[in-house]
């Protein structure tokens, strides 16, 4: 019967000792609009909204006049193609139509150094709510006259595997 009181004392001592545990990392939410990172992300968000609206003028408003685009596609048969486009060639891809486009990025990595910045993020592209392809977007941005604009967009494109 002496063991029971000793176990109670031992349990009381153990319950008063707390092993320090680091808090779980916070989620990677988007930066607040007022931060520099939020300002860098603003033209990217506007460009993606323009894609969703199939509005070339809206897309173009987020880009410099001499902006470029490059796509690196991996086809289902394993062939790969790289295509470089001028701003005009990119904008010509977005004309009004019945299909609904949606491009979503997730967990963007944003780096800023003075008047240059980059945004890197996985994305999915859907047509009429059905995933069409996925990959990674890379946006190069420059700040001119206090305004961030997209200088170049580079993206990978594949149909499988699309995890996000």
pLDDT per 10-residue tile (average), the chain, 164 residues: 49 50 51 80 97 96 98 92 97 94 94 96 95 96 97 94 70
Give the residue from 148, 127, 128 showing the smallest Cα distance to 139: 148
Q: What is the C-alpha R_g of the chain?
A: 24
What is the token pair recorded at 161? Answer: 């595997």
Give the residue from 157, 38, 150, 42 showing the smallest Cα distance to 87: 150
Question: Residue 160: what pLDDT?
Answer: 79
Pick the CATH number of 35-158 from 2.30.40.10, 3.10.450.50, 2.60.40.1250, 3.40.50.300: 3.10.450.50
Domain coordinates in residue numbering, the chain: 35-158
């Amino acid at each position: 019967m002496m063991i029971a009181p000793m176990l109670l004392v031992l349990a009381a001592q153990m319950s008063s000792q707390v092993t320090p545990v680091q808090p779980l990392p916070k989620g990677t939410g988007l930066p607040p609009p007022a931060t520099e990172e939020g300002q860098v992300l603003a033209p990217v968000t506007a460009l993606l909204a323009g894609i969703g609206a199939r509005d070339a003028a809206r897309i173009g408003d987020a880009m410099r006049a001499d902006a470029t685009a490059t796509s690196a596609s991996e086809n289902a048969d394993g062939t790969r193609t790289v295509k470089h486009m001028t701003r005009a060639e990119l904008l010509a891809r977005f004309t009004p139509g019945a299909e609904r486009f949606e491009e979503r990025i997730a967990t963007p990595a944003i780096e800023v150094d003075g008047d240059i910045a980059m945004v890197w993020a996985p994305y999915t592209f859907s047509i009429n709510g059905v995933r069409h392809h996925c990959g990674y977007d890379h946006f190069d941005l420059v700040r001119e006259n206090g305004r961030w604009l997209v200088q170049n967009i580079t993206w990978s494109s594949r149909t499988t595997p699309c995890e996000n």
